[in-house]
Amino acid sequence: MSQSPYMVADRESLSSPGSQFPTTICAMAAPTQFPNLIVFDHPLIRAKVTLLRDVNTGDRAFRALLSQIAGLMVYEVTRSFVTDTITVQTPLEPCAGARLSQKITVVPVLRAGLGMTAGVLDLMPEARVGHLGIARDEETLEPHAYLNKLPPDLDAGPVILIDPMLATGGSAEAAATMLRNAGAKDLRMICLVASPEGVQRMGRAHPNMTIYAAVLDREINEKGYILPGLGDAGDRLFGTH
């Protein structure tokens, strides 16, 4: 049997220190040659990604699935967020609880990143939303930024970059650079499908940034599309194909 490139972390090691219960909804696979990447290994996510890949899945179902997967991923992406202890009054007595300490910013890369944003905000409605518009030139595959609308104090807490496709990595590298230049310190990325080339490029350009991907695919082709991939995410999301 060939050696898997993944080390699947066991549930115990993923639990909070001191917790008597496993606290993850999913085991995660850590590809050993990509230290900056966390790949989800969960039956719901695998099944939904399979539907997204299917060429027969229409725009409406594509939108719903993409948003649902983003929601499932948020649980792990936010695990290291810091909380303050607060006290609430239950109907019976005071009770110590938690409140997120820092301002959270989510930043979708237009267009396709918008397809994951609602799913993230469903679980984290307190987050602020910045927008970056970046389009990849179809010939050169170089990213072109056309919009930069970010909150002024990006260093006030964690920033989550959102883009479903990490192919050559050009767009993600440009987006992360824009966020760093705008002050982001605690930066991570959620994507749906990552390519080995894109993950490696991000590791070189932004080594202190973890990428959370629903799936790591095989390669990119000569036109910059991920294989097996799911085609053009923006076009499938917005019906522009």
The residues that touch ligand PRP, with contacts defined as CB under 6 A, are 109, 111-112, 134-136, 141, 143, 163-172, 198, 224, 232-234
CA distances from 224 to 45, 141, 166 (A): 24, 7, 10
In the complex with ligand URA, which residue's Cβ is closer, 104 or 134? 134
Instruction: Provide the minimum distance between the beta carbon of 173 and ligand PRP in the complex, in angstroms, as a whole number.
Output: 8
d(CA 36, CA 232) in angstroms, rounded, equals 25
Q: Which is nearer to ligand PRP, 26 or 65 (CB)?
A: 65
CA-based nearest residue to 192, from 53, 57, 61: 53
Q: Name the minimum Å distance from CB 133 to ligand URA.
A: 15
Q: Are strands 83-89 and 94-100 parallel, antiparallel or unpaired?
A: antiparallel
Q: Residue 216: name its binding partner from ligand PRP, ligand URA, none (Cβ under 5 to 8 Å by kind).
A: none
Q: In the chain, which ranges are continuous DSSP H helix?
A: 11-14, 43-53, 59-77, 114-123, 170-181, 196-205, 233-238
Q: Which one of ligand PRP, ligand URA, none interacts with residue 141, CB within 5 to 8 A by kind? A: ligand PRP
Residue 237: how many CB atoms within 10 A of its CB? 21
Return the number of the residue (157 or 224) whose C-beta is nearest ligand URA. 224
Q: Which is nearest to 205 in space by CA: 197, 214, 194?
A: 197
Contacting positions for ligand URA (CB under 6 A): 112, 165, 167, 224-226, 229, 232-234
Minimum Å gap between C-beta 147 and ligand URA is: 18
